[in-house]
């Protein structure tokens, strides 16, 4: 949507399909469909865990990720949120609230963080991340 908005702007289109209220409902429907696809296991979110890449391992070893400095902590949180919860855009990161996260425990006693994007439609599944 951002790429299309940028193209239209470059062509002299006077409205923004992202910011102008005339396009609010179409933007909401697109976001809702994307959320529905992600919740059903489709879209950008991976369906299984993956190993760290060599570059990611180097970032952890070099303490560019971790909790030793504020910058490393911010970078780590950004990376973790993108990897485990599929948060991609700056707006998605900015729009998160503590209420979107819950510390839970399953029947076997395994703790996990549960993340929900706003209110979930009935019957949909939240995103889970084991601790």
The burial of 87, by beta-carbon neighbours within 10 Å (0-12 exposed, 13-18 middle, 19 or more buried), is given as buried
More confident residue, 126 or 81: 81
The answer, yes or no, to whether residue 121 has pLDDT greater than 50, is no
> 33: pLDDT confidence band, cut at 50, 70 and 90?
confident
Regarding pTM above 0.75, the answer is no
Predicted local distance difference test score (pLDDT) of residue 46: 53
Q: What is the full DSSP assignment across 99-123? A: GGEEEEE-TT--EEEEE--SSPPTT
Model confidence pLDDT, tens digit, residues 57-108: 999 999 999 999 999 999 998 888 888 777 777 888 778 888 888 888 888 8
Domain ranges of the chain: 1-43, 52-90, 97-131
Residues 6+ away with beta carbon under 8 Å from 101: 113, 114, 115
């Amino acid at each position: 949507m951002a790429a299309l908005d940028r193209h239209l702007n470059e062509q002299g289109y006077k409205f923004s399909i992202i910011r102008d209220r005339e396009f609010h409902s179409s933007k909401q429907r697109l976001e809702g469909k994307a959320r529905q696809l992600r919740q059903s296991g489709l879209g950008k979110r991976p369906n299984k865990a993956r190993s760290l890449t060599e570059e990611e391992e180097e970032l952890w070893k070099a303490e560019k990720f971790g909790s030793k400095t504020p910058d490393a902590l911010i970078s780590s949180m950004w990376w973790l949120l993108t990897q485990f919860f599929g948060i991609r855009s700056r707006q998605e990161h900015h729009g998160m609230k503590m209420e979107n996260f819950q510390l839970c425990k399953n029947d076997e006693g395994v703790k996990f963080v549960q993340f929900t994007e706003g209110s979930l439609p009935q019957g949909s599944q939240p995103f889970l991340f084991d601790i």
